Structure 1
């Protein structure tokens, strides 16, 4: 019963008032202050390493600064798994002495400071001697170095700031090895003994992007130093700058031509404030969604929130809302006015008269932007086809030399607001249907003819048959070399333009000009030049596997050559009125027999590689078919055959294939058609078609049919094939001209 009377007084559900002292437990004695102990040196070093090396990018920054301090002119960087697995930097600087290697990775060992007062005049990147020491405590560090007066290189392995043996049981002393002048530092398994820090990194690609940002900053600033950075296992490099490049070209290499083309140079100086600043900033024609500032104070890459805020405020009156600039500033301040030892990673610095210096720099930038804005110009484009409007290509993507020529796919899918109609005549009922016709039927007595569904109006009465011939696998070195030459001369912007174009229409049949649209830009294309290159590439791609055009009845080879020789003789006589016509007649009289003999001697090769079959009696049976649905002008056949004699190098394999395919491409290239005759009582073009009314009438009918056929072939066969397979080369820049840009017109009207 006693327990029942005590329970109401012990209400555990009522909380004690705040601040109530807890009574001391009888078993607990009086508390004593804990002892202060010195941390274990290993713990101290790991804490310091965690402050200095926060991520792989910080380790790389320290290593780059050491390499540049060593007088290097070449810095090569190799990264694996974002720098966590491997981070290697190789330079060609003055190296490290063999005697200095034992204390290289001890804390606060440096060749740049002797007294504390030296901090006020420090002019190098690194100075505290903590970078390699910190790295050695959280990674496996290997240093290979060679000085100019050393007969060999020395390799040393470090762990926890001391020399360690490369393998158990081996000596820890540096080992002589082969190597080039300079230093190579290899950092493996970064944060291997700090698992919490290592798990904090999201992805290797994100860390690699941060590394590229660090390398890109120093690659822009360090003139006279070549930088390269690549992933482990990749053949190509992500960043590459040459020694001789100036600052603008370095920015072009790292950040692109869109930035480099709009840069404005500025400089500011004030002796009273003890600073001088130079730099490059973008003008009002360039803006992006995020500000990019490359800030170097006394040649050290740093960040400054105050400078960034002031720069953005300066540009706010020049750029549209939401637009931000690209800024590169090289600021030099007298060393005694600068404190570089305020941040473990030296990411931030303090300097005197900060507000005044920033105001001076922004005032100079504002003046330069106002000068450019007041004299802004607009680029216009003429209609001359010889004008080059597409910029040079900087693509360095490696390609397999054994693969066939392929056109890269368009990089971006256009949004709806970027699409406009190409031609008011496009949206017609026939544009919704394939160019098939139901009126054309295969002949009943031809069992090999294809069914009606595969016949098109482009076939012009031709019948296609299939064969059982197995495709040849061409492994000739000469053909591979010719394909590689085409790939090496590829112009990426023009290739992507052709790969994403829409055919608008035929402009001029005599000058062979057609209009195409790519995105919101309109181009005039010299389709004669483009077709010549395209059919040459088809010859290389389908080498040895051409189709055949069967000639019925087969003409005699010598007769065709004589027709061509007579035409050449007539043309030569008109061009050279004072030449010896007897000598010319003798040359052209013997040429058909000589060329026919040459082709007959090589008819096996012509049949195997080029699908040109010649009978024993000298009749031409077939011609190569390069593109289904496209019929070359057979009127050019005699001249094509005649040129196979003197214009093909039959002695060298590679030159033979190159010259033969060039002549074949010229034969397949669409011919120049005369302009349509103006309507009149005669209805004939006497200048183009001849003086005889009967013959000119027949030729005019042929030209009219050929013009209609050519228009259909260009729209439905040639330009779709160009879009799918053409690798545009730099030579084709002369054949493309931009005549309209919708966004450019909008900008012009907005400024008016």
Structure 2
């Protein structure tokens, strides 16, 4: 059999024969040598990094024009800037002697040493913008200074002077022209065909150009901007140099957002920054966030700032709604690194987290204060009902909310991990629905609400420095994380009415909250916010203040028998003090007194909630010794603190039972409790407190509470879903 087979062993290794190492190794090739790139290639690579699209070239030219002291910029665009991009300014121009090196790399009038980068306060600084443009486009510059008798026109190619036509001289030519500079960029990316083919739609590139022009038109006060397409008679965008920032926003972004703007400003010398701008209030929201961000007057982007502001607005806007924000951030130049991105689109600065937190806190406070012109949408669910109807507050404004098309449902979100799921959804079902309701006192049945009468009175704008200082003290003492907890919480239930504890959930965490402490701080802040604009709880007939104070004195004397106080003189002294200040109390606090010492009304802080009138005698009694009547700031502070304490829900016993003795009569288990009528009254009050906490107070905390650092002791985290998963996943 083997004799008939033709086997060729000439190119194979016999079985069992060991091969040499050099036979197993592939044929080695000589390593490629490292060479320096040609300067022309280097320049084109640099140009491609800096000028990515026509809009980047225009951004560089706008910044140079503003740096040159221009008050008017005219922009002309053809084919999205690929065929023609021309910007004309009325700045101080360029000297004739500087034109030969104008388009060389790293030539600038703003830097001399590297250390100058740490204090640079202008837009451009590297001297690469015009150089990069000249390597990928045909560049023509016409300029005239005040000292020059004529304008000079120069053509550039690859960073150097070039002749206007072949065979002509490369020297700049004198020509007629007005003061300033006109830069003409033609055939952008003519020598980079791969980049040129990447631009599919000139209209899309023109839209990007309009966006950049609009950003600088809003930010650069005192500079007029105009932008139009080549060949069009109409101007696409035009602003006046005398227009205010809000007027520019109205012109560029529409009246819908301009009518709903709130201004803000915050600074910190320790962090070395000042931030100011305009943000839309809760009436305005769109599908996509619009942020005009300028850091040291340079238009930049920051994903961290955008994310933080979107989180801030998530508690004020409906789901899917996004805000409009213009933010100008001035940071100490020594704390900023402006040279980290080729197009200067991003910058790095110190204390980024602290600065962002300060900005979002200020915006959150401003949004919380502006709630008198909220516009909501309602829709009848009854057959044949009317469609959506706007319901406005004091200042009706057109709504920006659009109807949802049921044929285009939103895309299904990705399924989250189970340890990130929030298990409490008050819109579906509550734990209390699983418990049998009480026959006599059901917490689901709200008592009869008082009638509210609206009095036509214009809101008073508080200009008192003392009130502004007290408000600033609250803002300076804010705890951002705790404020976020209350702004996004879900009410779980009442835990202990005697210790005044409720349970709330925020995210995947469960907290026990001392609602007495939180209520006290909230009503104090409410007093500062609504100062001079309180409602009134009127008494008909009026109540005698001396009689009420005597009731408070009796209770206080019983509780503190050892105090050396002339109790018999307290009622007269406090009544005299209040009557002497009755005009101020009526004007600022809606606390009205008669000449005879009768109480006509007390402040109404929160609609839907009436404080316990059993606390009224002690409240009136404390207004004498516990309020600093001799100093304005101290007076307002202490009076509002006493008012807040009066509004805090009172402590009530947890268990109220009556046992029957052998004779069939009821005996009260709780010490100090009276007869059956008193027991029924306490039960009714407990149900009322439970209702108010769930439906009035904690929704109010969610909307307006600024949690201060002092409230940390009143909030305790008792469960974390992620932590529980880590515990039980081992089981």
What TM-score, normalized to structure 2? 0.50
